[in-house]
Structure 1
Amino acid sequence: MENVAQTILSQYANSPTIVQLIQNMDGYIDPSADIDAFYNLIWNVDSAVGMGLDIWGKIVGLENGRKLTIPTTEINFGFAEAGTASAEPFDQGVFYSGTPGTQTYVLQDAPFKTLILAKAMANITDCSIPSINQLLQNLFAGRGRCYVNDLGNMQMRYTFEFALEPWEVAVVQQSGVLPRPTGVLASMAQIPVPNVFGFAEAGASAAPFDQGVFY
């Protein structure tokens, strides 16, 4: 009633008809529900969906929006010397065409939100190792250890001790949103602990003979 009264001129404040009309109109066109919906669906990145996330993509500077190019997992024809992970035998592998195949996907809301948050944090980071480590831990919370290695000679590596989804690999390797200092070459490694071979000194982070694979 107090807010409604502020919209009525003093000479009409004692008119029950006018006051009732104004009160009814205030109830009919109360914008609070729309304001709450705008905040939750568009402005709050944690709860935004659909068009709200598209807007956030533009705000943080994702030029391609939801589109993300992911390398194909197709394995080409080859011989035993190439190893089983990079070549397939007759009737299974296809001939290499000269250029690696790619597939362009339109990200759904959940992975797109991850991409938005990665770009947002990259926009304000100072590119120090502690800052990048914090960025990775925020993005992949609860997934396992992930961190940056300084390899020397102007090189660094994003290391993940768990398996990434294909779209997550594309975010790390091809989206360009993860930060790196100017002039530093960045690479990525997935080490799915504890399924890699190691010795007892590694404790629970490595598997024994005939169980773990070489990294």
Structure 2
Amino acid sequence: MSWKETILTQYSASPRLLAIIETFNQAMNLDDFTDKFIDEVWDVTTNGTYGLDIWGKIANVSRHIQSDISSNSFGFSEADDGNINDHPSPFNEVPFYAGIQETETVRLTDDAYRTLILAKAFSNISMATIREMNRFLTILFKGRGKVFCVDYGEMRMGIICEFYLAPYEKVILNKYDVLPTPQGVLLTTTQLVPPYFGFADDAYPFNDGAFFKG
């Protein structure tokens, strides 16, 4: 776009004003600045920390989220506190005990924060239909594998992912009200990652794959 197209009509016939702008235009080339601004601030798919912080304020979502912190660590039977999710494990599986975590507040990395911003922005403009949800999930997890939304009936919906979700992705999908689900509908997320026993082409036979635990 030429700078002349941005001049208001009442000033378009002013030779002095046009001469000043033309002189400034010849002295300043904003092409590099514009490209850098688009990549690092404007485009949410490419920008860095500063640009994401701006978009986070626009979408009204914080970079800091509340996430459960696993305390699973190396130990022996006497270290078992009865929590089946955080039981002691043997060598070469988990790290040594690092002490009690003081906080469950986690600062998201740029990629994780980008996921949260996109989810929140989509919820602001979506009509909360199955088709819209599937379209958004396909964009959000592009190249990761199959992901889709299903209607279970009885005020329940589910997101099925045929790939592993990162910890921050599970937190965002399960704990943050950023997906455009209809009011009063329960949303659950399931990772259906083979090998599982079944009869599909990519499933495992008896004694090879475990039963699926939903």
Could you tell me the TM-score, scaled by structure 1's length? 0.72
The one-letter amino acid paired with 1:112 is Y
Any idea what the Cα deviations from partners look like across 1:78-132, whole Å, max 9, x if unmatched? 66xx87x66448xx9x9xx9xxx97322122222112211111121111111111
Q: Does 1:157 align with 2:158?
A: yes
Whole-angstrom distance in 2 between the partners of 1:32 and 1:8: 25
Count of matched residue positions in the alignment of Structure 1 and Structure 2: 188
Counterpart for residue 136 of structure 2: 135
Alpha-carbon offset, residue 188 of structure 1: 1.4
Name which of 58, 72, 83 aligns with 2:69: 72
Whole-angstrom distance in 2 between the partners of 1:177 and 1:131: 14
The one-letter amino acid paired with 1:77 is D
Counterpart for residue 182 of structure 1: 183
Whole-angstrom distance in 1 between the partners of 2:86 and 2:210: 15
Q: Is the 8 A contact 2:71 2:86 kept in 1?
A: no
Stretches of structure 2 lacking an aligned partner (at least 5 in a row): 4-12, 73-78
**Alignment of structure 1 residues 39-50 onto 2, 5 Å:** 39-50=38-49
The one-letter amino acid paired with 2:151 is D
Could you tell me the TM-score, scaled by structure 2's length? 0.72
Whole-angstrom distance in 1 between the partners of 2:189 and 2:80: 26
Counterpart for residue 213 of structure 1: 210
Counterpart for residue 195 of structure 1: 195
User: For structure 1, which segment, 129-138 or 107-116, has the greater mean C-alpha deviation from structure 2 after superposition?
Assistant: 107-116
Counterpart for residue 16 of structure 1: none
In structure 2, the CA distance between the partners of 1:34 and 1:7, relative to structure 1 (3 Å rule), is farther
In structure 2, the CA distance between the partners of 1:26 and 1:210, relative to structure 1 (3 Å rule), is same
Whole-angstrom distance in 1 between the partners of 2:107 and 2:176: 13
Whole-angstrom distance in 1 between the partners of 2:45 and 2:144: 19
RMSD: 3.5
Stretches of structure 1 lacking an aligned partner (at least 5 in a row): 14-18
Whole-angstrom distance in 2 between the partners of 1:87 and 1:151: 33
Alpha-carbon offset, residue 34 of structure 1: 2.6
Any idea what the Cα deviations from partners look like across 1:145-196, whole Å, max 9, x if unmatched? 111222221111111111111111111112221221101111111111x212
Alpha-carbon offset, residue 54 of structure 1: 0.8
Q: What percent of counterpart residues are identical?
A: 32
Q: Is the 8 A contact 1:71 1:102 kept in 2?
A: no
Query: SS state of the match for residue 30, structure 1?
Result: coil
Query: SS state of the match for residue 72, structure 1?
Result: coil
Q: Is the 8 A contact 1:60 1:119 kept in 2?
A: yes
Whole-angstrom distance in 1 between the partners of 2:27 and 2:68: 53
